[in-house]
Structure 1
Amino acid sequence: MNKMGTITGFTFKNKVKTKSFMVTTIVLAILITIGLNVPYFITLFNGGSIGGGASGNHPVNIGLLTSGQPEVSEKLESFSSAQGDQAYRFIAGGDKDEAALKADTEAGLTDGYLKFEAVAGQEFPQPILYSSDEVSPQIIASIEAALQSVKLDVVVKDVLTAEQKELITTPVKLTQESLSAEEGAAGAESDNGMSPINYIVVYLLIILLFTSTMMTGNMIASEITAEKSSRIMEILITSVSPLSQMFGKIIGIFLVGILQIGIFGAVVAANMLLPHNVDVLGDFNMNLSDINTAVIVYGLIFYILGYFLYAVMFAAIGSMVSRTEELGQAVLPITMLSLVSFYIAIFSIATPNILLLKVASFIPFTSPTAILVRIGAGVAPTWEILTSLVILAVSILIFGWLAAKIYRTGVLMYGKRPTFKELFKAMKAYKI
């Protein structure tokens, strides 16, 4: 056990100190930062937009030109005030003419002003918003909703009661119910059972699981192949048992992967908590507090188990290859398995109840990503999650046992890759 700990520590320190690890981590952290701040950069290059979140949290002030249409202006101001805390507010212009309101906007006292122009043959005037900068689509949509309500009040006048007007203007929300008894209430959150913020979290976790597993798995295979090709393995095998060597390397590189994920997680969290990014999330009705913690917790558990399942297979393959040039072709089957797992989850994220995803949730090679989609959508019962975990854990024990036997015989077999018959014969002679 002490020797395995020594190998684990040596592998971890050796990999963390390499230039490739440092450069990759820094470059990816920079790319993540740029990607998360793209909306903010766009607003900067476009000169910013009023109410877009980049200019602060203060409400957008819009002056009202009351001359000509005092009734509409008064009703609009009253309606807006009754809504409570808004991203915008109307300021009655009083006796000010259009030139005075324009001067207020140019002086920065207001962000723009709203003018009503009479249209021949129409009872409701045409509203025109003048502003120094572009107003965000969210603010425009809110103003249009307020104008729609005022328009109804002006057009119908006293024909309808206040309750009838409120009933007409209240939007109709469609609720979706699943026909499956066991998934009924869980699948009704949204079109695919996932809130927007959880959709993004699941999407990112699937990508993280795939890229991290492939990167660390190839590290393990290349490390073992390099030691074998340089004949260092012959010296190591006499001082440390093959089992300690294999799992020492696997755990050491696992810690490297966890460190890298921790760095990326900190970068994402730091960027998402920046004021302008919080505002962007708010504009899309997304709140960090809405993140389903079960997705994060189960995502971490399935990442760890999925890593060890693929890691022992990468270690076994790496032990059978004598030259690093042959490694790419040798690990191709494992890479294809990982790609299948990735594509099943990515292409099914909008339809978490399909049969393919349910079946994939119980296959150890695809379950880490498939079950994560169903957990994020809230359609995976607890018994299915636990069953998937048990199957995955048992698979790790079985493949770990096989990988240890292959590793023990493969690291000392040089030249061409051993055939299955030769490998099976050598494995039978070695007892774990």
Structure 2
Amino acid sequence: MIKQLNIVIKDTLRANFKSRGYWILVLSPLIFVAVIGGVAFGVTQLQGNTTPTVAIIGQASERVPFVQSAKNLDMKISKITNEKQADKALKSEKLGGVLTLKSDSATLTTQPKSDQVPKDDIATILNQLSQAKKATQYGLTAAQTADFMKPVNFKTVVQQANQSESGDNTEGANYAIAVAIGVITMIVVMWYTSMIANAIANEKSSRIMEILLAATSARIQYFGKLIGVFLLALTHMLIYLIAGFATVIFLKDNVFVKMITSNLSGVTTGFMLYALAFILIAVALYLVLTAMVASLINDNAQVQQAIQPISFLAMIGYMFSYFMTFMPNNIAIRALSYVPFVSQSMMPVRLVTHVEGWPTALASLGISFVALILLAWFGQGIYAKNVLSYSDEPIMKQITGRFFRK
């Protein structure tokens, strides 16, 4: 039995790995992203150096903080210290801005074609200089001045069930992953439900299914196809994961890559494992459901009839996840967070927004896993019963007539 199962799995993998359609499915999004990235990089290069050059007009001691912070401010400090020379250079577009410092005020002058000058960062330094001057006027010591200018250590903390969880970047990063679970599941389901439905339709329409079932049981064909297509989906996701890591490594200095890695740097290991488990279980659930429904298909013309309701089901949880922000305690939303097929889009979001805790989140994951085992076991009987039957009735009519017939 195990040997026959391995043969069906390998045959499913081999048939799709050799097909042009599978690699178009895998590579087309990567090529699209690469083209968009290449165009964006080319436009950036054509624009040249966009780092603005600013002249600081004021006392030498006031210029020092700007010179020291120039790299962090993403701007260059001009050597021009004369106001007339600075105005002339600004008019000729050799400068991006002129910062004029006076005893109690400061003025930043730019021209229409100036590159973006970091005004907020400049204002921060000016406030620090002003505080230092006032501290000196009030006779504070250097230590007192440093303590006076020390920024407040501010962070957000969510108190929940005898434990505290730090907010900061972790909360935002985990929320992004939580939303991505629903998106990834929906996309993968739409891709691979069609694949398994077409495989069954091809075998039934060409009457190959009778030959296959003469050599192996329907149970072997059922589980072999499911495992084979699931491994294809897993390989697909691994390819994207490797491509993502390679992009981060080789383009680590890219502004866009830096922004993404910075936003995702706070993702916790526990939540990442939880998200991965939910994605895999949800994808497996949809593949099992597709195999059951696809067993009713006569030919390729009925494939869309079979996968449309499944694709719609995958979208339900994704759509409901947007309503949770506005009504997280709605009884329908709370109930759906435990329902397999939609819980993967809802419970992770409820977890990271602290509406639910880890015990309920793990309970939802456990329910989906148990549902997967039961549905897979129940599905083999449905598959064996219908895979050799042929009917001209619409798929939905067959479902209501066969699955719910007393």
- 1:147 aligned partner: 126
Is residue 194 from structure 1 mapped to residue 195 from structure 2 by the alignment? no
**Match of 1:189, as an amino acid?**
G
Deviation at 1:261, TM superposition (A): 1.0
SS at match of 1:126: strand
Deviation at 1:308, TM superposition (A): 1.7
- 1:17 aligned partner: 18
SS at match of 1:134: coil
Residue-by-residue CA offset, 1:371-410 (whole Å, 9 max, x unaligned): 3324555665332233223211211122112211111111
Distance change >3 Å, CA 49–CA 201, structure 1 → 2: farther
Q: Distance in 1 between matches of 2:403 and 2:251?
A: 59
Q: Is the CA contact 2:201–2:299 (under 8 Å) kept in the aligned structure 1?
A: yes
- 2:72 aligned partner: 86
- 2:362 aligned partner: 386
Gaps of 5+ in 2: none
More displaced 10-residue stretch of structure 1: 216-225 or 378-387: 378-387
- 1:8 aligned partner: 9
Structure 1 vs Structure 2: percent identity of aligned residues? Answer: 21
SS at match of 1:127: strand
- 2:195 aligned partner: 219
More displaced 10-residue stretch of structure 1: 124-133 or 401-410: 124-133
Is residue 408 from structure 1 mapped to residue 387 from structure 2 by the alignment? no
- 1:300 aligned partner: 276
TM-score norm. by structure 1 comes to 0.76
Deviation at 1:310, TM superposition (A): 1.1
Q: Distance in 1 between matches of 2:280 and 2:392?
A: 33
Distance change >3 Å, CA 160–CA 172, structure 1 → 2: farther
Pairs within 5 Å for 1:82-161: 86-88=72-74, 93=79, 99=85, 114-116=98-100, 123-128=104-109, 134-135=115-116, 139-151=118-130, 158=137
Q: Is the CA contact 1:112–1:131 (under 8 Å) kept in the aligned structure 2?
A: no
Deviation at 1:284, TM superposition (A): 8.1
- 1:64 aligned partner: 56
Q: Distance in 2 between matches of 1:422 and 1:289?
A: 51
Pairs within 5 Å for 1:245-284: 245-275=221-251, 278-280=254-256, 282=258
SS at match of 1:362: coil
Q: Is the CA contact 1:12–1:252 (under 8 Å) kept in the aligned structure 2?
A: yes
Deviation at 1:317, TM superposition (A): 0.6
- 2:161 aligned partner: 182
Deviation at 1:220, TM superposition (A): 1.0
Distance change >3 Å, CA 76–CA 386, structure 1 → 2: same
Q: Distance in 2 between matches of 1:41 and 1:184?
A: 49
Deviation at 1:367, TM superposition (A): 1.9
Q: Distance in 2 between matches of 1:22 and 1:282?
A: 29
Q: Distance in 2 between matches of 1:341 and 1:39?
A: 34
Residue-by-residue CA offset, 1:335-375 (whole Å, 9 max, x unaligned): 22111122223554x57954555433311111222233245
Distance change >3 Å, CA 419–CA 140, structure 1 → 2: closer
Distance change >3 Å, CA 101–CA 9, structure 1 → 2: farther
More displaced 10-residue stretch of structure 1: 283-292 or 139-148: 283-292
- 1:28 aligned partner: 29
Q: Distance in 2 between matches of 1:174 and 1:337?
A: 40
SS at match of 2:109: strand
SS at match of 2:262: coil
Deviation at 1:206, TM superposition (A): 2.7
More displaced 10-residue stretch of structure 1: 265-274 or 85-94: 85-94
Q: Is the CA contact 1:62–1:88 (under 8 Å) kept in the aligned structure 2?
A: no
Distance change >3 Å, CA 245–CA 270, structure 1 → 2: same
TM-score norm. by structure 2 comes to 0.80
Distance change >3 Å, CA 424–CA 170, structure 1 → 2: closer
More displaced 10-residue stretch of structure 1: 159-168 or 10-19: 159-168
Residue-by-residue CA offset, 1:115-172 (whole Å, 9 max, x unaligned): 4177xxx942423358996146xx4321221123334556898258585897589469
**Of Structure 1 and Structure 2, which has the larger fraction of its residues in helix?**
2
Distance change >3 Å, CA 383–CA 288, structure 1 → 2: closer
SS at match of 1:340: helix
Gaps of 5+ in 1: 52-60
**Match of 1:116, as an amino acid?**
T
SS at match of 1:335: helix
SS at match of 1:394: helix
> Cα RMSD over matched residues?
4.1
Q: Is the CA contact 1:338–1:365 (under 8 Å) kept in the aligned structure 2?
A: yes
